[in-house]
Chains A and B, each alone.
Chain A
């Protein structure tokens, strides 16, 4: 989406907006320094923020990266990713409550459930592209929402699923501070997995499909199958985030499946920068922190702020924070060479 869009609005040959290209161009030491800095921030985070907020940021970072895998690197806007986030939240909660599995196993089970759900939804949705893909995924997510709402014996309807245990091999993780460090490895694994997908030959084909689907097909790539595969992988990553979210809140409500949750994930990605992968992590940090601050200060109309962010970013700031920063950095290096 980004590249075709920007190339129409800007002179040809200038400013490749995708983070993929930016990462390939930035000198190695810059990328390593950024990685070390990112890890340092991740390790420090619960000391600088409320640990509960830091935990939410981790979960939403996974969610955003999952959405960006589709939007930024395959050119598919999924407006229904709450289905995978939410189904995994319920599945993780149910597994943890009824089977008593430890945290990583429960979250893995939830993410697998999300991936399984992504197969039929993705199979149908990849038959359309562009704006239709967004509408179709939104509609299927609403279907999942209605089913969860109706299937009270399992989901407990509007009361929600309560008492999800927070336990890891007998360790008590009720303190958010320790919980953060317990789930950080899972989150980093998920993020590394997403990075690996993007930088694999498979990921290169995805970008090729994004930029020129007809040519990718002419070269013999089964476009639908590639899209379906990344859709399922994305569902899995979103599911990891949703499962961790369920355990961290020890409670799952229908809100995890609502379309506003899907929309929030898209906001996070667009604000961070479409097609930048790490932009989504940054966007998650900003949006979660901002919403926490707003609800803490008693401001009720959060939609005014998130909606406003959306309008401003889409109108003036389409590269997002990460995309803008890397474009500036690129220009600076370009001048020095």
Chain B
């Protein structure tokens, strides 16, 4: 695994500290600066549910010159801001990787408490006096994290200017003294790094593959959702705080009022979705955001939305479950709830983006689909996707259509107006309050075409057909990926079928498998309901073996696919609260083609 300088850049940095050390802030400066320098960056932070209280924080950023799709399971560099938290992560540092730590004299700490005593002989150690430098430059130890980032930048030949741009941007609007002091802390760390005699070969030079970029923005999945909402012209948002979806509401709370949009923090998730449906009923583009426990509370309203045929969008970012589960750990175990969680036959559209750019697209398209098909739409995210950062390029022209509603014909007589008229495509023309003469009542009761309660057998059957058939054209909705195949074409040894955030790891594993000579392809399924059964079946037909890796115990997606296609698949399930490792998927692929891992690795 030894590398030489001047190869393509692919370096993963992990910064580990205790809550309150500025770990996540340091990681943020690093990833923003590297994106500015033109590198591809994928970053994901792990933090505890506690605000302070000694919880462990890790900020990881993978900086590459080529496009990659996930973090690596091994890091090339570990910075310890807190040794007791960092020690368990020394093992994730690759051979000849670097470990940077506070240069405390080992004699002053208890045996085994210093990170340096846990390094393997192949780790390259750099002890730096972060605290002392910070105190000398800023008269406070609080800038240790900035000194550490500066040191890292100096040690790896990173360009200092981009860091200064990011730092001054971060402190814009705050006191200039503070910004200057942070800048000085960075410089002091940077110089120390430059002056260090280097044992490693890795360098992250001045510019990445694409040169200095201005149109690439470093963005989290949740931030991309927010951009999608704003570009789609969101009118109203109702939400209740819940990790990991809260930041969607926080960002919208800042942005929406500037565009006369209205946002309300409701008393619970039930009222959040109820108000979203109420607003959708008036013709507004309305949304809510929650996590699994919130979606559990929303299911009754989701059924009402399906029955009353009211547009509504819910962003659902999954976390470890069941119940309160693991609020700050990632999991993909709410698929069943999102797809099936309703009383009665109450299908809705469920979209699960696989990367940050997909979050933007799915967010905007969710509003179009909700309107076009008069239905609730769930955009299913997870903590790993909500909180991970990628350098993305957003379209310069707004890609989302303004109004997709099927409205009643202008010259048609209001007396003929039937809110739930049975039409060839199942979508009835929708009048909204304020339209003359088309008064009607929408209801969660089964109803006839006029909307009057009815439990006649033929009506329930016809309306059930209508409510399901009308969603099928969503599979052809323009401008959004419903499903997509990557890798080898035609018949392959192993096909990997995936959904959501895990698809990045799946792609990486597939690419590695192909390098080993395995005929392999991967397919992502973005629309989980209605499921694109045709393309999925065609993919399964091409694969000798099919592997479905996902972050849940019950193999929820694999069961969905098996149920819809009647084909068996191999399952790979992990519920550790962390993203799937590329290596584990690769091992499974090798096993499925009968390769031994050892031979293949040579």
Answer yes or no: do A and B interact.
no
**A residues apposed to B, CB below 8 Å:** none
**B residues apposed to A, CB below 8 Å:** none
